[in-house]
Structure formats: C-alpha cells, structure tokens
C-alpha cells in the first residue's frame, strides 16, 4: 500500500500541503481547471517542478487542458490523508504556543491540536484557541494516543520534555526550541528555528545578491 508512496521525493512531499491549500482556494473561487503555469505563479514553484511533483502520483492532468481542480483536490485529499485527522499535542503555551493554538488549523487540514500543556498554574484550566490547557505534570496521564507533539517550551526544558514525550509514546515532534534534541531512531523530529531562519535570511541578503533594483 505504501510501496509507491515511499518513492516520492521528500522535496515533493513538503510541497504537497502547499498545493493542497491553493487548490482549495481555487475551488472555493469556483475555478474548474488550472494549468501548471497558473499554479506556478500562485505558489512560486517552477511549473516543471509542479508537473513533475504531480506525475509521481500518476497522470492527473490532461494535455492541452491542464488539471481539473475538483479531481486533483479529491486526489490530494486521499493522498494527504485529509479524511483521517491526526491528533496533535502542544507543550508550552507561551506566545509561540498561543499563536499555534489560535491558528486556524481546522480549515483544509488533517491535523488538530487536541490538548495543550503548560507548567504555569495560571494558564492551566483555561482554554486557548478552543484547546484545553492541562498541567504539564499530567502529561503522561492525559496525552493518550497522540502521535505528534509541538514543542514550544523554553530551550532548557526541551530535552527533558522530549524524553517524557517519547516515553509517553509520541512518534513525531515539531521542535521550535533552539535546542537540538536527541531522540531514539523511531521518532521523527523537525526543527524550526526562528533565530536561525532570520540569520540565514540576513546572510543570503548580504552574500547572495539578487538582480539589481530597477531604477525608474
């Protein structure tokens, strides 16, 4: 069942949710068809790359016509498991955690933050973005079968909290702390490091000149 899927390049897989979202936009605008060129302009991905990406799933388009929005959408819905919602836990209801909780994830999305944890007694028992905040001491007890965790704690807490999450059975962690956490090989970690993203942007700005600004 996953035989074909495994072959999809990671770079492609990362773009799928992006495509999915824009197709949804088009669909709600009542658009019936779309070409790789149009889509390219909207998502800022080369049109050949888009066609290549789609082609991993078979021949989804029609020559001389483009792609049928509804068909493509229903195809992606299946592929991205949009029907089956993945439960997510969030640990650390600071500013960043709150931002996540308030984010409108339910729209066009296969993930839902089911529960949040924080160490601050003032936050426990409140509801943020429709999600109940529990005390972090109850993590093991209340996290149940949640497979994915978003880690938005202070970096000193990152590794201890990771260890607890792993013990509690979490199999993927989205780590927003600057700490590079250590996990067993069966646990998947993605790092999003805001400080590094900003520094990298500055580095590119200074060292990788783009086209000159056009005067007039």
Partner DNA sequence: AGCAGTTTGTGAAAACATTAACGACTTCCT
Partner DNA sequence: AGGAAGTCGTTAATGTTTTCACAAACTGCT
Given the rule CB under 7 A, which residues bind DNA?
9-12, 35-37, 45-49, 51-52, 54-55, 59-67
Residue 100: CB minimum distance to DNA, A: 26
Least Cβ distance, residue 73 to a second copy (angstroms):
15
Q: Which does 5 bind (CB under 5 to 8 A by kind): DNA, a second copy, none?
A: a second copy
**131: helix, strand or coil:** strand
Work out the number of other CB atoms within 10 angstroms of the CB of residue 108: 18
Token digits of residue 215: 């005067």
Report what 42 binds from a second copy, DNA, none; CB cut-off 5-8 Å by kind. Answer: a second copy
Q: Which residues pair with 173 in a beta bridge?
A: 149, 189
User: Strand pairing of 172-175 and 188-191?
Assistant: parallel
Residue from 58, 121, 195, 216 binding a second copy (CB under 8 A): 195
Q: How far apart are CA 101 and CA 93, in angstroms?
A: 8
E strand residue ranges, 69-160: 86-91, 111-118, 127-128, 131-135, 148-151
- Residues listed for the chain: 216
Q: Out of 2, 28, 59, 83, which residue is the one contacting a second copy (CB under 8 A)? A: 2
Residues in contact with a second copy, counted by CB under 8 A, come to a total of 70
Decide which of DNA, a second copy, none touches 132; Cβ closer than 5 to 8 Å per partner kind: none
* Residue 187 CB contacts under 8 Å (≥ 6 apart), including other chains: 166, 170, 171, 172, 173
Contacting positions for a second copy (CB under 8 A): 2, 5-6, 8, 10, 13-14, 16-18, 20-22, 42-44, 80-81, 86, 88, 94-96, 98-100, 102-103, 105, 109-111, 147-148, 150, 171-172, 174, 178, 180, 182, 184-188, 190, 192-214
């Amino acid at each position: 069942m996953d035989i074909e899927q495994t072959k999809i390049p990671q770079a492609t897989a990362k773009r799928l949710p992006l495509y999915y979202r824009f197709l949804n936009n088009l669909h709600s605008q009542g658009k019936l068809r779309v070409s790789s060129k149009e889509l390219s302009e909207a998502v800022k991905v080369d049109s050949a790359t888009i066609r290549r990406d789609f082609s991993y799933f078979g021949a989804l388009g029609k020559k001389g016509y483009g792609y049928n929005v509804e068909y493509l959408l229903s195809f992606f819905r299946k592929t991205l498991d949009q029907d089956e919602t993945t439960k997510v836990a969030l640990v650390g209801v600071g500013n960043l955690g709150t931002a996540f909780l308030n984010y409108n994830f339910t729209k066009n999305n296969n993930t839902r933050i089911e529960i949040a944890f924080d160490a601050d007694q003032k936050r426990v028992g409140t509801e943020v973005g429709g999600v109940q905040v529990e005390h972090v001491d109850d993590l093991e007890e209340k996290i149940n079968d949640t497979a994915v965790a978003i880690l938005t704690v202070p970096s000193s807490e990152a590794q201890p909290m990771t260890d607890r999450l792993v013990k509690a059975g979490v199999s993927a962690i989205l780590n927003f702390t600057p700490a590079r956490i250590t996990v067993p090989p069966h646990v998947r970690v993605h790092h999003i490091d805001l400080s590094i993203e900003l520094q990298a942007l500055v580095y590119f700005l200074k060292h990788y000149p783009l086209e000159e600004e056009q005067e007039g």
